[in-house]
Amino acid sequence: MTAKSNLTRDEAIAREGLIEDVRYRITLDLTEDKWFLSDTTVTFRSRDPGAQTFLDLSAPAIESIEVNGNSIGLDAFDGNRIYLNNLEEQNEVRVRASCAFYRTEVGMHRFTDPIDGNVYLHSDFEPFDAHRVYACFDQPDVKAV
């Protein structure tokens, strides 16, 4: 699989037409210096059972992927996307990944102030940046809670 990071217009149109009723449960462990654990559960409905789509996630490492209660191979992840095949009408995907802190105005930032010694965190989720923090359908026309 070739790692593809940018979402094309055609891919966004197809994905928006396929999925609905998207919900996220996200847990982040932000205690490390260089990386953080992202544990995300995504639930959604497929308008076309049996179809395929993908979640966006840019991460240096992935620990596990479960689709509808079944573990799938880590080869479903190419570094930027998690490919989901044979969708059911109702789907639940859980992804545990090690994500990187950034220093370049995208994703999640971690900074230790040299003056006060405190650690500061902030996120920057401009369009198409949330996938640097958690697995998601990272496009403006796919809304979720």
pLDDT value at 106 more than 90: no
- Mean pLDDT, range 20-24, rounded to an integer: 97
What is the rounded distance in angstroms from the CA atom of residue 49 to the CA atom of residue 126? 31
The C-alpha angle with vertex 84 and arms to 78 and 89, in degrees rounded to 5, equals 165
The backbone torsions φ and ψ at residue 120, rounded to the nearest 5 degrees and listed phi first, read: -120, 140
pLDDT for residue 87: 97
pTM: 0.89
- Mean pLDDT, range 80-103, rounded to an integer: 94
Residue 8, classed as helix, strand or coil, is coil
Q: Which of 11, 45, 16, 23 is nearest to 142 (CA)?
A: 16
pLDDT for residue 44: 98
pLDDT for residue 104: 74
pLDDT for residue 124: 74
pLDDT for residue 70: 96
pLDDT for residue 47: 97
Structure tokens at 106: 């995208």
pLDDT value at 133 more than 70: yes
Q: Which residues contact 115 (CB under 8 A, 6 or more apart)?
A: none
pLDDT value at 2 more than 80: no
What is the rounded distance in angstroms from the CA atom of residue 132 to the CA atom of residue 52? 22
Q: Which of 41, 40, 42, 28 is nearest to 100 (CA)?
A: 28
- Mean pLDDT, range 87-92, rounded to an integer: 98
